[in-house]
Amino acid sequence: MNKVQVFSVLFSLVFLRGILFSQTGPFSPGTTANNASIGSNAWTGTGNSVSSNNSYATVATKGITNYLSASNFGFAISVPSSISGIQVDVERSTNSATAVAVLNNWTNGLTKTISAGVARCLIVGIFMENGVGARDVTAITYGGQSMTQITEATVGTAAGFTGKIEWWRLMETGIASATSTAFSLTFAAATLDQNWEGVSSAVFQYVDQVIPVSDFEALASNNATNPIALSPALSTFEGGFSISGVYCGNNTTPAVAIGGTNTYLINSGFTEVIDTYSANAGFTGSGGAFQVAHKATATSGTEAPTYTFAGTANRQVACCIHLLRLRECDQSVRLLKAGVITGNNYAQTTAAWSTTDTYTTYGGAGDLWGTTWTEAQINASNFGAVFSASVQNGTARVDHIRITIYSFSTLPIELLDFFAESKNGKNYLHWRTATEKNNKRFEIEKSEDASAFYLIGSIDGKGNAWVVNDYTFTDSLPGNGIRYYRLKQIDADGSYQYHKIISISNRAETFDVCLYPNPSCEGLFTMRSPDVTEANVSIYSNELKLIKSFALNSGEYEISLEDLADGIYYLIFTGDGQQKIKKLEKSCRSH
């Protein structure tokens, strides 16, 4: 073992696409501020974003926030390097967000009175049956405002009896513009046979106006299976609201009241709001039973309701939707280059913020945000990130902003260490490289005065290498006194560069260190040290982990490794300006 194995510099390495990258960070900002180039609402307590400590930069006013600017990260990327990626992590959450709530409960019929509210959403369910194939609603208006279809589900046969559920919606802008409380339905051309339809509607508020419905799922059964279960499950989100509709072509008892048990029972804590039977008065035996139920969502997860029909089931169809609460969302996430906002906007504008602190990552190891970077720009105090939010419901909170830089050295070699040791009248030079690019050879130069150097030998390089390589060169005739050495690295094209100068004092060795017994079965070693006034002893494991160290004077000492596992250990004895490395073996094997 040589000295570099014990005192290697520790550094972080990330292997990406076959190239050796270094990862710096994550670092926290030294400076935070509001930047009014976006939004109109300033952050309070910007300095709370410099660390993760549950103290927040906040905005409660609804609308677009200013940029929360974070800079002065204190990077010191080595020169020359190539910046390969930038990752920004923002720890953010929303506080006191209002969940979706019922504003006007469910009613049947072709009119709906809507109350004043915040971020409203009108939901309409159409339940239909026809004897010769499905009848289709192609458009619905409410007070003259066009509604948007969410989804539909059908059960039955193309030429026979067919049941159908359709869900439609109208958002706040349309509700505010409605000129009446009436629905108008437009149907595609169809042959009607024992046809009937039922219309149920409700109004919710605090519903997201960009993505009001996050998921919808349906199931259909043409047989007498009872009960039936929704599969796949409906994905639900914290603060949202799930709505279920289910239909069966048979009837139980006509005119069942809400809350009755003669149509459908539904599990999972849903509240039944419509439970009825409907028929076409012109056709004896026509019609079917349908139910609407809903449920507020406290935490994100899934819903897989089971429906039990209180009668003899035939055609059954269920269709569920989930409403998202009005959300806090990202508005803009960009970088600062030389103090100027630049690069791609990586805002996640459709992802709702959680009510618990969560780091969200933007960019990454191979992402430069659509621009180019130099080491100086990253190292500058005016490098950083800016973050803006869209506040629609509660209070936007940012606990911490941090940045990680991914880079790799563009030097022909990455030199980890270069040192010399003197032994038996010779000087041994050791160096280690992390990477090599087109490295033809090393030339070793020597000097007596650290000024005039001359060539004393060369060693071939590895060409291109992405693993650690160790080199040793022996100066067999160093001479007495201090000697200086430097490395000259030469590329395949003949270009070259010099690396650091090291020195060592050459003199006859005055001591040795004796260890016995070695190997030791019990792990007890006796060390006899030379006659030196001061010395230091360090013991390392075979994995280069420091086990113990102590200072001593000359004499005889006992070293105990009794509490350690069998194996190889190394002792480094340093004294009188010289150094000795000894291998210790704790083992009961015979040699």
Element at 173 (helix H, strand E): helix 172-177
CB within 8 Å of 227: residues ≥ 6 apart: 306, 307, 308, 309
Element (H, E) at 569: strand 567-575
pLDDT at 538 over 50: yes
Structure tokens at 345: 């906007």
Please give the Cα distance from 258 to 106 (Å, whole number).
11
Give the confidence band of 532 by pLDDT, cuts at 50, 70, 90.
Answer: low
The pLDDT confidence band at residue 574, using thresholds 50, 70 and 90, is confident
User: Per-residue pLDDT averaged across 365-393, rounded?
Assistant: 96
Q: Is the pLDDT of residue 13 over 80?
A: no
- 161-165, 306-310, 565-569: least confident range: 565-569
> What domains appear along the chain, each with residue ranges and CATH number?
3-96+329-409 (2.60.120), 101-323 (no CATH), 413-506 (2.60.40.10), 514-586 (2.60.40.3080)
**Higher confidence at residue 383 or residue 276?**
383
Which residues are 515's β-sheet partners?
A: 527
Any idea what DSSP says for residue 375? H
| Pairing status of strand 31-35 against strand 67-71 | antiparallel
Most confident of 102-111, 277-286, 531-540: 102-111
Residue 3 has pLDDT above 50, yes or no: no
Is 580 or 40 the better-scoring residue by pLDDT?
40
Give the Cα separation of 472 and 72 in Å (integer).
42
Enter the pTM of the model.
0.60
- Cα separation, 248 vs 246, whole angstroms: 7
Confidence at residue 443, expressed as pLDDT on a 0 to 100 scale = 96
Q: Which residue has the tokens 């209002």?
A: 98
Average pLDDT of the chain is 87
State which of 2-6, 128-132, 540-544 shows the largest mean pLDDT.
128-132
**pLDDT for residue 257 is more than 60:** no
With 80 as the cut, is the pLDDT of residue 372 above it?
yes
pLDDT, one tens digit per residue, over 29-61 is: 999 999 999 999 999 999 999 999 999 999 999
Mean pLDDT of 334-351: 96
Terminal C-alpha separation, the chain: 21
**What count of other Cβ atoms lies within 10 Å of the Cβ of residue 107?**
14
Q: What are phi and psi of 535, to 5 degrees?
A: -150, 155
Residue 123 CA to residue 106 CA, distance in Å, equals: 9
Q: What's the Cα-to-Cα distance from 369 to each of 84, 384, 385, 545, rounded to whole Å?
A: 10, 13, 11, 40
Instruction: Give the model's pLDDT for residue 294.
Output: 97
* Rounded-to-10 torsion of CA 228, 232, 237, 238: 50
Residue 72 vs residue 494, higher pLDDT = 72
**Would you say residue 5 has pLDDT above 50?**
no
d(CA 380, CA 373): 11
Lowest mean pLDDT among 141-150, 280-289, 516-525: 280-289
Could you tell me the CA-to-CA distances from 559 to 182, 570, 589, 591 in Å, in that order? 95, 12, 20, 21
Indicate whether 284 pLDDT > 80.
Answer: no
Task: Check residue 9 and give its pLDDT.
Answer: 24
Residue 308 CA to residue 266 CA, distance in Å, equals 7
Question: What H or E segment, with its residue span, contains residue 4?
Answer: helix 3-6
pLDDT score recorded for residue 525? 80
From 69-73, 335-339, 478-482, the region with the lowest mean pLDDT: 478-482
Highest mean pLDDT among 73-87, 330-344, 469-483, 484-498: 330-344
Q: Is the dihedral of CA 500, 506, 510, 511 positive or negative?
A: positive
Contact (CB, 8 A) for 561 and 525: yes
Residue 148: predicted pLDDT: 98
544 pLDDT above the threshold of 80:
no
- Report the pLDDT value the prediction gives residue 78, as an integer from 0 to 100: 77
Ordered alpha helix ranges (H), 258-349: none
pLDDT tens string 127-150: 999 988 889 999 999 999 999 999
Greater confidence (147 vs 514) lies with: 147
Question: What pLDDT shows up at residue 251?
Answer: 74
Q: Band of the pLDDT at 567, cuts 50, 70, 90?
A: confident
Q: How does pLDDT run across 418-456, given as a tens digit for each residue?
A: 999 988 889 999 999 888 888 999 999 999 888 889 999
Question: Cβ atoms within 10 A of the Cβ of 540, count?
Answer: 22
Using one digit for the tens of pLDDT, what is the confidence trace for 54-110? 999 999 999 999 999 999 999 988 777 889 999 999 999 999 889 999 999 999 999
Q: Which residue has the higher pLDDT, 80 or 270?
A: 270
Token readout for 430 is 């050791």
- In this prediction, residues 385-411 reach a mean pLDDT of 92
